[in-house]
Amino acid sequence: MNTMDCLFLPPDCGPELSAGLRVYHLPAGSEGARMSLEDCAAAVQGRAVALVLPAEVCSALAVALPTQKARWLRQALPYAVEELLAEDVDQLHLALGERLSDGRYRVIALRRSLLAGWLAQLEAQGLKVGAVHVDADLLPRDGTQVLVLGDRALVGGVSEARLAVAAEDWPMLADQLPLPFHLYGETEEPPLEVGEYRRVIEPYRFLADGRSLAVDLAQAEFAVRQEGGSLEQWKPLLAVAGLWLVLQVGFNLAQAWYLERQGDAYSAESQALYRELFPEDTRIVNLRAQFAEHLAQGAASGSGQFLHLLDQVAGPLQAPNLTLIQLDYSENRGDLALQVRASDFAELEQLRQRLSEAGLAVQMGSASREEGGVTARVVIGS
C-alpha cells in the first residue's frame, strides 16, 4: 500500500523547477490533481513525498556484476556501465536495482547535477523528498508492460527497458520487447492494437501502487537522511549491542548454573568426608560450625599433640632430596612415625640431626636401599 504522497514531474520539465510549474500531485489516500508546484507544497504540509521522474531524463540498463556483497556492488558499478552509456560515468548518478532472473542487476542512470538541482529546488520550496522513482519503472514486473498516458507510452516490465515513447512510435519498438504484452490506458477502447488491454481509471494511482517493487533512486549520496538523526543509522550498532547483551546474559546464566552444580558437588563431598571423620554425628545442621567444633575439641585433646608434632617436623622435612612416603600418628604413645625416602644415607643422617636440633626425640630405623635412593622409618616423640 502506498502511504506517501507522489509528485509526478512533467516530461518536458527542464533543470529549473519554478513555483508555477504544473505537476501532478497524488495524495496517499485521495484523488490526485494537476496543480502548481507552489500549491503542491502547500497541500502536502511538510509531509515527505515520493518524487516520480519522467523516463525521458533517465537511462535504464542491466549489467553483470562480479559480486553479490552490497558494498562491493556499488564499487564495481561504474566500471560495469561505463561502456554502455554515452555520457561520462563520473557525471552520472547510478541507482542499483533488483537482481534479474539471468543474474544481471537493474541500473537506472541520470545526470547527478540534474537530480541534485531538482532536490535542492524542491527543498527550497518546502517539499521534502522521501523517495525517488522513474515513472516507467513503476509498472508491474510481468512480461512487457505498456501504459498510455495521453500522447506518451510508458514501457516497462520484466526486462531492463524503461522507456517513454510517442504512442504512434510503439509499433517500431514492439518487436524488440519480450512477450506477453500488457496494455493499459484511460480509454474504453485500446489505444494500441497490442496484447491484452485493461482500462485504468486512475493511471497515476496505478503507477503509485508499483512503488514497492520499483528502484528507489534515493541512494548513495542521495540517500534520504531523517531530521534529528535517523534510527536506521544506529540499527547496526543496536543489533551488535543486542547480540552482545543476549550472549552476556546467556553466559552469566550458564556460569551461574555451572557454579551452582559445582557448589552442590563440593557440598556433597564435604558432607561425605565429615561423616567419614565423625560417624557419630548423625545429623548435620551447619557443616562449618560442627567441623570447627570438632577441631577445637581435637586441639584440646590428643589431636592437639599431633598438630604440634606435625608443625615441628615440617621445617626439617623441607629438603630437596627428601620425600615423605607415609605418616602415622599413635595417640596412645604420642609419637609420629614417618616413612621417608632420601637420595642417600647421608641425607637421612642430616634429617635426624635437624629433628634433634628442633628438640625432638628421634629414633631412626634401619634404612634399606631401593632404586632411586634409600628409605627409612623415623619415629619422633616430643
Do 259 and 123 belong together in one domain?
A: no
Taking a C-beta distance cutoff of 8 angstroms, is the pair 137, 171 a contact?
no
Its domain, for residue 364, covers: 302-381
Most confidently predicted of 53-67, 256-270, 331-345: 53-67
Pick from 51-65, 125-139, 288-302: least confident = 288-302
Higher pLDDT, 192 or 70: 192
Do 263 and 368 belong together in one domain?
A: no
The pLDDT of residue 147 is above 90: yes
Do 370 and 318 belong together in one domain?
A: yes
Contacts of 134 (CB under 8 A, 6+ apart): 52, 53, 54, 55, 58, 60, 108, 162, 214, 215, 217
Higher pLDDT, 375 or 128: 128
Does the residue 144 lie in any domain?
no
Do 122 and 259 belong together in one domain?
A: no
Phi, psi of 139, deg, nearest 5: -70, 155
CATH of the domain at 56: 3.30.420.380
Does the residue 184 lie in any domain?
no
Does the residue 167 lie in any domain?
no
Angle at 354 between CA 353 and CA 357, to 5 degrees: 85
C-alpha distance from residue 68 to each of 65, 83, 84, 105, 203 (Å): 8, 21, 21, 10, 35
* Total number of domains constituting the chain: 3
Do 78 and 211 belong together in one domain?
A: yes
pLDDT in tens, 272-282: 766 766 677 77
Do 322 and 264 belong together in one domain?
A: no
Do 251 and 127 belong together in one domain?
A: no
Do 77 and 221 belong together in one domain?
A: yes
Does the residue 365 lie in any domain?
yes
Do 220 and 89 belong together in one domain?
A: yes
The pLDDT of residue 233 is above 70: no
Higher pLDDT, 153 or 327: 153
Do 134 and 20 belong together in one domain?
A: yes
Higher pLDDT, 19 or 329: 19
pLDDT in tens, 40-49: 999 999 899 9
pLDDT at 9: 97
What 3-state class would DSSP assign to 347? helix
Do 53 and 111 belong together in one domain?
A: yes
Mean pLDDT of 240-266: 80
The per-type count for the chain, helices as H runs and strands as E runs, is: 9, 18
CATH of the domain at 375: 3.30.1360.100
Does the residue 87 lie in any domain?
yes
Share of the chain above pLDDT 90, in %: 45
Does the residue 175 lie in any domain?
no
Does the residue 213 lie in any domain?
yes
pLDDT in tens, 2-41: 689 999 999 999 999 999 999 999 998 889 999 999 999 9
Do 254 and 310 belong together in one domain?
A: no
| 298 pLDDT tier (thresholds 50, 70, 90) | low
The pLDDT of residue 155 is above 60: yes
Q: Are strands 196-199 and 181-185 parallel, antiparallel or unpaired?
A: parallel
Does the residue 275 lie in any domain?
yes
| Per-residue DSSP letter, 55 | G
